């Protein structure tokens, strides 16, 4: 049975614990339960009382397709509420091979202490000096780590932004090629890790523990059907592998929901220059890779390797939300500039959605001009440096807006809005408003039913059905995140009759505990209840479940819709 | 009957309105009612929907001693809640002579608009170019205004901090000598004024309207007894006039409640060097003025004129809280340095309590060293400049802590704590926690009963009686602020049997409306109800009525007490 590794970052004591009260949980259900149970809701997120939990899902380490996602949980320095930040990379694939389901970092060193790396081995933990990589950008730091531990080393590392405890700091997880390219992006988890003076958690590359299924034969049957389901749906078998998530640029622009110039219009003149189609053509011409998986076992392959004009590697995991945020929302239409911004965010360890909106604030304030991609690149490089401007920007959208007196601030619970205008895609607006995470499209991706017409058809412009669809998706997502599955399986699951029972069969076969579809749904419900309870204890109320007033007051061209839900009307979206 | 002047800062339309629904209100009761009634609780504080209200009290313009305080109200950019910031100076004395009880600034100009001055005349308003003073420090700007309008001009002006819409920005009100020395300090009212692109509100010096009392003879009798009451109490007739509020340095230090080194101990080794006694000796030696009134009609004279080593004017209104914050809390024991910090705050237009705590955050972060007074002076000068560090510092304590990853942050509702450690002076801790204003000693000054033994004796170290005393003081203070009286009258009122009925008699005689002591108490209760209702609508809950966890976890030497109230236990302090 996999264990929890609990590490005190001040005393450097550690324990390998049985799951105990946490038995049966995994992924987000586990991180949120630990945070809700063990972290005082009133604590300062950077204080010793906060805990950082990194967990694989219930199916982690199995051969189930797309089951290698990691959950990172803590009280968020960005929102002040609970946070689960979901990330790909190799961590959750490797962790079970060390006999572990989760790692918990507790307490914090005394003021003035330096950073360390934590090497996790089969039955022990080593605190290692990391002076050679402190202050270094992530790719270069990772090269040094690889030189020491080998090409296959698996890491979760913070960059200069995390070292400075900035609220938009990520934890970067290494991908199958050993690049620090996968971001536990949202909510400042990197700042929490930075406050505990941990530069990187490194999983012993020599660990080779096997991960046993309770019923290997039954698991084999179920996982085969699972692959067939994923490979049988056009979104997961064709759209995403060919164009990545950037396939959405043209789709959302066509829907009039592509937020442009800080959410002033829903269409961007330069959309075709930054579309998924253009990206894939560019990748092909430069001999990059347009199909790529972020973790072992991924069959969807929505990631890619994007090379620069010279054919040299520039970035990977180049998402629609990043392209939207640094592109349309800033009036930047140069895909190479945007790719460079994505790379810098990975280098410094910063959330691209948060930083893209932050740059919009900087443009509102005149710090950089609308459309000035090169100017944005220079600003991004300041984060993590000694320049105070970097400390402003690295603390995100609401913070930068306050610094410069900007009053048009697209945040919910202080977290910046993603790439779908809620006035037009109202179901996702309900999710932005009501999820315990702060504005987060992944928490209940109603774009499916509103725009893509996957898993149902709820017209995006009206209010009817939006609360229900958001609620159901929020529950399903919490379950998916708890299993450790990639959210993108949802496209296929929503459209396939037996998909959920196949998932239940995989869980049953993997764990040996009979698990029904209802059990899986309840896992999602209970996870959300934990999160909502924490936020309530931290002082959140229904009043925090609102979009900023400007979405109510300013109609969005071309459809000229406004946001017309009250906070009260949306409460039913919460479990 | 005095009117309300309502000015649209975008269209530049204005109206002189009858009081209407606001009849019978004044000062804080008026500003809070207007904000609670007219400002959407969900609005961004710097958006067009917010309103800035400047009002004299019910006794404003009368000859009642110490009745010249002004109230400034808005939704606060610092706390996100309602704010009344109380200030001396000549504004409330002059306003009634223009036939006005209050001025309301509404809406905001389009992006890119420049600043203007607003000249208020007897029956008209002029929007005047102010290019000559934009960006200028307050004293120099005020010299230019005086050169144009005469030495007796009365102003409410923002400095560079307010122009940049920083959350710790004040509005500086001119004192009887025409110096911009009186601060509507707390809660960022200067940022709201700055967002509306108003540099100064100037009251026509030529206005000479008389202020009539409804029953002049009865008023004369009551006001004479009122002066006798104030002059009959040792605090208001001897302590405050001789040593200013800085008389508290030694008293609070002796009580072990003088927060030192960011609230780490309750005693400061250098206290005697920065005490009121030392200040008065210094003032005398340099031929300054140790008795001084902040507004016409003040008989307490707790202000002073503090000269530098050369005998030249340095600052005035040099308060205990300022001396504590820049002194003991930063381990600075040079009174001249602290006086310079006070002056710079007046020059840039910054709240001294907020900025002093901000500097403690900068010291925690190593931006400047503990005890380095000269370093603090240099940092303060950056606020309002083009240096991004100035934008961090000027947004206050919680903001600066976030910028630098500091987790020991003494704020309630994001407003920094004043000069009395709540672990030792528990009554004021209840006030910090529960007042709708955020941490504010003036909102319910239980230091009286806890330490000074004025108006009762509630032992400061225990929990017994603290909630009750805070509640009663919060009600009384709201009433005092609504009448336009100086809070310091409370010392005498609390110890004098007939004082409240004399105040009621003055109100009856001034307004012609029979007013009882109960009516005055109800005025305070209703004002607080308005404020709490606004905050609830803005999303505040009982959970926001808490001190930061470190006050609960760290005992304060020398008494080694912790904060031991729960938020629930304190709810009874709210009306």
Q: What is the DSSP string of A310-345?
A: TS-EEEE---HHHHHHHTGGGT---HHHHHHHHHHH
Question: Which of B45, B405, B537 is facing A195, going by the closest CB pair?
Answer: B405
Residues B230-245 pLDDT 10s: 999 999 999 999 999 9
Task: Identify which of B101, B98, B107 has the alpha carbon closest to the alpha carbon of residue B125.
Answer: B98
pLDDT confidence of residue B206: 87
Residues A150-181 pLDDT 10s: 998 999 999 999 999 999 999 999 999 999 99
Q: What are the structure tokens assigned to B481, written together? A: 């602020």
Among B77, B407, B535, the strongest candidate for a mutation testing the A interface, having the largest count of A CBs within 10 A, is B407
* Residues A49, B549: C-beta atoms closer than 8 Å: yes
Q: Are B213 and B509 in contact (CB under 8 A)?
A: yes
* Residues A166, B539: C-beta atoms closer than 8 Å: no
Nearest chain B CA: its distance from A392 CA (Å): 6
Nearest C-alpha in A relative to B169:
A405
* Residues A539, B538: C-beta atoms closer than 8 Å: no
Which residues of chain B lie closer than 8 angstroms to A389, CB-CB?
388
Task: Identify which of B208, B223, B165 has the alpha carbon closest to the alpha carbon of residue B190.
Answer: B165
Q: Say which residues have a Cβ less than 8 Å from residue B497's Cβ, sequence separation at least 6.
A: none
Alpha helices in B215-333 (DSSP H): 216-231, 234, 240-243, 248-254, 276-285, 320-326
CA distance B314 to B327: 17
pLDDT at B379 over 80: yes
Question: Which of A389, A399, A543 is facing B388, going by the closest CB pair?
Answer: A389
CA distance A429 to A353: 16
Task: Identify which of A385, A439, A54, A65 has the alpha carbon closest to the alpha carbon of residue A228.
Answer: A65
Q: What are the structure tokens assigned to A143, written together? A: 């090269």
Q: What structural domains and CATH numbers belong to chain A?
A: 3-203 (3.60.9.10), 258-421 (1.10.569.10)
Which residues of chain B lie closer than 8 angstroms to A41, CB-CB?
543
What does each of the 575 residues of chain A score in pLDDT, given as a tens digit?
Answer: 799 999 999 999 999 999 999 999 999 999 999 999 999 999 999 999 999 999 999 999 999 999 999 999 999 999 999 999 999 999 999 999 999 999 999 999 999 999 999 999 999 999 999 999 999 999 999 999 999 999 989 999 999 999 999 999 999 999 999 999 999 999 999 999 999 999 999 999 988 888 999 999 999 999 999 999 999 999 999 999 999 999 999 999 999 999 999 999 999 999 999 999 999 999 999 999 999 999 999 999 999 999 999 999 999 999 999 999 999 999 999 999 999 999 999 999 999 999 999 999 999 999 999 999 999 999 999 999 999 999 999 999 999 999 999 999 999 999 999 999 999 999 999 999 999 999 999 999 999 999 999 999 999 999 999 999 999 999 999 999 999 999 999 999 999 999 999 999 999 999 999 999 999 999 999 999 999 999 999 999 999 999 999 999 999 999 999 999 999 999 999 99
Question: Which of A44, A404, A549 is facing B44, going by the closest CB pair?
Answer: A549
Nearest chain A CA: its distance from B539 CA (Å): 5
Nearest C-alpha in B relative to A40:
B549
CB-based burial, B463-474: b 16+ in 10 Å, e otherwise: eebbbbbbbbbb
* Residues A541, B541: C-beta atoms closer than 8 Å: yes
Chains A, B: CB pairs < 8 Å: 106
| Residue keyed to tokens 């007939």 | B498
Which residues of chain A lie closer than 8 angstroms to B395, CB-CB?
402-403
Q: Are B90 and B295 in contact (CB under 8 A)?
A: yes
Distances (CA, A) of B4 to A124, B201, B440: 73, 15, 28
Nearest C-alpha in B relative to A364:
B111
Which residues of chain B lie closer than 8 angstroms to A194, CB-CB?
405
pLDDT at B208 over 90: no
CA distance B450 to B469: 9
Distances (CA, A) of A145 to A117, A128, A153, B232: 10, 12, 8, 76
Alpha helices in A417-498 (DSSP H): 426-434, 447, 466-483, 489-494
Q: Are B189 and B172 in contact (CB under 8 A)?
A: no
Question: Which of B42, B195, B403 is facing A405, going by the closest CB pair?
Answer: B195
* Mean pLDDT value of segment B367-394: 98
Report how far Cα B476 is from the mean position of its chain's Cα atoms: 16
Distances (CA, A) of A505 to A220, A300, A477, B144: 10, 21, 18, 81
Among A43, A49, A388, the strongest candidate for a mutation testing the B interface, having the largest count of B CBs within 10 A, is A388
Among A364, A386, A403, the strongest candidate for a mutation testing the B interface, having the largest count of B CBs within 10 A, is A403
Task: Identify which of A366, A368, A384 has the alpha carbon closest to the alpha carbon of residue A376.
Answer: A368
Question: Which of A194, A407, A543 is facing B46, going by the closest CB pair?
Answer: A407
Q: What is the mean pLDDT of chain B?
A: 97
* Residues B166, A407: C-beta atoms closer than 8 Å: no
Q: Which residues of B touch A (CB under 8 A)?
A: 40-47, 49, 77, 164-167, 191, 194-195, 387-389, 391-392, 395, 399, 402-409, 537-541, 543-544, 546, 548-550
Which residues of chain A lie closer than 8 angstroms to B404, CB-CB?
164-165, 391
Question: Which of B40, B391, B538 is facing A392, going by the closest CB pair?
Answer: B391
Q: What angle do CA A557, A561, A566 make, to 5 degrees?
A: 145
Question: Which of B195, B399, B402 is facing A407, going by the closest CB pair?
Answer: B195
**Which helix (H) or strand (E) segment is A87 a member of?**
strand A82-87
Among A115, A167, A539, A554, the strongest candidate for a mutation testing the B interface, having the largest count of B CBs within 10 A, is A539
Nearest C-alpha in B relative to A546:
B42
Alpha helices in A150-274 (DSSP H): 160-163, 189-195, 216-231, 234, 240-243, 248-254
| Length of chain A, in residues | 575
Residues B124-154 pLDDT 10s: 999 999 999 999 999 999 999 999 999 989 9
* A70-75 sheet: strands from edge to edge: A14-17, A3-8, A100-106, A52-56, A70-75, A82-87
Which residues of chain A lie closer than 8 angstroms to B409, CB-CB?
44
Q: Are B301 and B241 in contact (CB under 8 A)?
A: yes
Q: Are A358 and A397 in contact (CB under 8 A)?
A: yes
Q: Which residues of A touch B (CB under 8 A)?
A: 40-47, 49, 77, 164-167, 191, 194-195, 387-389, 391-392, 395, 399, 402-409, 537-541, 543-544, 546, 548-550
* Residues A538, B543: C-beta atoms closer than 8 Å: yes
* Residues A407, B194: C-beta atoms closer than 8 Å: no
* Mean pLDDT value of segment B459-469: 97
Nearest C-alpha in B relative to A545:
B539
Intra-chain end-to-end CA distance of chain B, in Å: 31
Beta strands per DSSP E along B354-475: 411-412, 415-416
Q: Are A434 and A574 in contact (CB under 8 A)?
A: yes
pLDDT confidence of residue B202: 98
**DSSP letter assigned to residue A451:** I
Q: Are A481 and A441 in contact (CB under 8 A)?
A: no
* Residues A42, B395: C-beta atoms closer than 8 Å: no
* Residues B543, A41: C-beta atoms closer than 8 Å: yes
pLDDT at B109 over 80: yes
* Mean pLDDT value of segment B556-572: 97
Which residues of chain A lie closer than 8 angstroms to B544, CB-CB?
539
Nearest chain B CA: its distance from A45 CA (Å): 8
* Residues B546, A407: C-beta atoms closer than 8 Å: no
Which residues of chain B lie closer than 8 angstroms to A541, CB-CB?
539, 541
CB-based burial, A462-474: b 16+ in 10 Å, e otherwise: eeebbbbbbbbbb
* A171-173 sheet: strands from edge to edge: A125-129, A116-120, A198-203, A154-157, A171-173, A182-184
CA distance A96 to A86: 17
Q: What are the structure tokens assigned to B253, written together? A: 């230090």
Question: Which of A47, A546, A548 is facing B407, going by the closest CB pair?
Answer: A47
Q: Sign of the CA dihedral B186, B191, B196, B198? A: positive
CA distance B29 to A260: 43
* Residues A541, B538: C-beta atoms closer than 8 Å: no
Q: What are the structure tokens assigned to B567, written together? A: 């938020």
Which residues of chain B lie closer than 8 angstroms to A44, CB-CB?
407-409, 548-550
């Amino acid at each position: 049975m996999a264990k929890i590794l609990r590490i005190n970052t001040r005393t450097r004591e550690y324990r390998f614990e049985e799951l105990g009260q946490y038995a049966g949980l995994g992924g987000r259900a586990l991180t949120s339960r630990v945070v809700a149970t063990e972290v005082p809701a009133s604590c300062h997120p950077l204080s010793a009382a906060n805990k950082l939990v990194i967990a694989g899902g219930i199916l982690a380490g199995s051969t189930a397709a797309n089951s290698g996602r990691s959950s990172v949980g803590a009280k968020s320095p960005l929102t002040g509420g609970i946070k689960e930040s979901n990330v790909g990379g190799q961590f959750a694939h490797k962790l079970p091979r060390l006999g572990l389901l989760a790692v918990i970092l507790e307490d914090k060193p005394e003021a003035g202490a330096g950073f360390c790396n934590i090497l996790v081995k089969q039955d022990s933990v080593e605190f290692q000096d990391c002076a050679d990589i402190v202050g270094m950008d992530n790719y270069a730091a990772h090269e040094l780590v690889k030189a020491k531990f080998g090409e296959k080393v698996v890491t979760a590392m913070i960059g200069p932004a995390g070292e400075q405890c900035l609220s938009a700091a990520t934890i970067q997880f290494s991908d199958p090629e050993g690049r620090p390219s996968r971001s536990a992006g949202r909510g400042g988890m990197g700042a929490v890790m930075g406050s505990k003076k941990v530069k990187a958690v490194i999983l012993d590359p020599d660990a080779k523990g096997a991960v046993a299924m309770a019923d290997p034969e039954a698991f084999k049957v179920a996982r085969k059907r699972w692959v067939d389901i994923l490979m049988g749906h056009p979104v997961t078998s064709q759209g995403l592998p060919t164009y990545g998530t950037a396939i959405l640029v043209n789709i959302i622009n066509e829907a009039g929901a592509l937020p442009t110039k800080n959410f002033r219009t829903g269409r961007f003149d330069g959309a075709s220059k930054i579309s998924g189609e253009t990206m894939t053509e560019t990748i092909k011409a430069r001999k990059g890779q347009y199909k790529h998986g972020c973790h072992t076992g991924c069959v969807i392959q929505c990631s890619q390797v994007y090379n620069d004009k010279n054919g040299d590697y520039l970035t990977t995991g180049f998402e629609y939300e990043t392209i939207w945020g640094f592109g349309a929302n800033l009036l930047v239409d140069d895909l190479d500039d945007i790719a460079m911004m994505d790379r810098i965010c990975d280098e410094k360890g910063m959330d691209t959605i948060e930083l893209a909106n932050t740059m919009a604030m900087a443009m509102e304030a005149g710090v950089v001009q609308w459309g000035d991609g090169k100017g944005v690149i220079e600003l991004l490089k300041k984060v993590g440096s000694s320049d105070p401007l970097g400390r402003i920007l690295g603390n995100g959208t609401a913070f930068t807006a306050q610094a410069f007196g900007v009053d048009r601030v697209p945040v919910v619970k202080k977290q910046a809005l993603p790439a779908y205008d809620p006035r037009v895609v109202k179901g996702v607006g309900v999710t932005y408003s009501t999820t315990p995470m702060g504005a987060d499209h992944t928490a209940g991706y109603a774009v499916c039913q509103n725009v893509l017409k996957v898993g149902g058809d709820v017209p995006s412009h009206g209010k009817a059905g939006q609360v229900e669809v958001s609620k159901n998706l929020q529950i399903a997502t919490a379950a998916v995140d708890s299993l450790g599955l990639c959210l993108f399986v949802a496209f296929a699951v929503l459209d396939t009759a037996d998909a959920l029972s196949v998932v239940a069969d995989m869980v049953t076969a993997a764990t040996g505990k009979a698990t029904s579809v209802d059990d899986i749904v309840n896992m999602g419900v209970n996870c959300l209840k934990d999160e909502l309870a924490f936020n309530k204890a931290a002082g959140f109320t229904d009043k925090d479940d609102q979009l900023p007033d400007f979405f109510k007051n300013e109609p969005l061209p071309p459809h000229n819709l406004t946001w017309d839900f009250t906070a009260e009307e949306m409460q039913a979206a919460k479990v």
